[in-house]
Amino acid sequence: MDRDREFDEYVDARALVMRRTAYLLCGDWHRAEDLVQTALTKLYVAWPRVRRDGSVDAYARKVLVRASIDDSRRAFRRRETVVDAVPDTAVAGAGSDLDVRGALASLPVGQRTVVVLRYWEDLSVTETARLIGRTEGTVKSQAAKGLAALRELLGHDVLEEQR
């Protein structure tokens, strides 16, 4: 019974943060909720071990990121994209006014994951590399490419104001 109570307390404290991170990873609130549920299910199964090791947040973040990557690889995700409304034009112009979340959603999954973990979750290069199972060099290059793409989409001044 203590296990369930401790797990419930953890979920109450961290579910909102996990949902926000999941949204930044996938760009869709409904998918974000699914990712969080997947992560929480896996966390519950591993709860005694993870709790004993004291690495609950790190494990939850790792499961969330991996669930996002797995979900993005599914064939139906590549074929269909959910949008809130039909756009007025077929393709947005080069100078269109995108919000940060929209620009983030336009990044490839790897770049988006690295940018979210490095700059939203404030993880180090080493922590990010370990979490996504890539080398530090890959994390650095994906972060650089992701930031360059965001600068191009949003304009250099917008990102400088965010710092």
pLDDT of amino acid 39: 94
Q: Are residues 99 and 53 in the same domain?
A: no
The alpha-helical segments, DSSP class H, found in the chain are 2-26, 29-53, 56-72, 75-79, 100-106, 109-115, 125-132, 136-154, 156-162
pLDDT of amino acid 96: 45
Domain count, the chain: 2
Number of neighbouring beta carbons within 10 Å of residue 21: 24
Q: Are residues 102 and 77 in the same domain?
A: no
pLDDT of amino acid 80: 58
54-75 residue pLDDT tens:
889 999 999 999 998 888 777 5
Domain that holds residue 138: 91-163
Interatomic CA distance for residues 96 and 70, integer angstroms = 31
pLDDT of amino acid 77: 53
Segments of the chain scoring below 70 in pLDDT: 1, 75-82, 87-98, 156-163
Separation of CA 113 from chain center: 5
CATH number for the domain including 118?
1.10.10.10
8 Å CB contact between 26 and 68: yes
Q: Are residues 73 and 99 in the same domain?
A: no
Q: Are residues 154 and 96 in the same domain?
A: yes
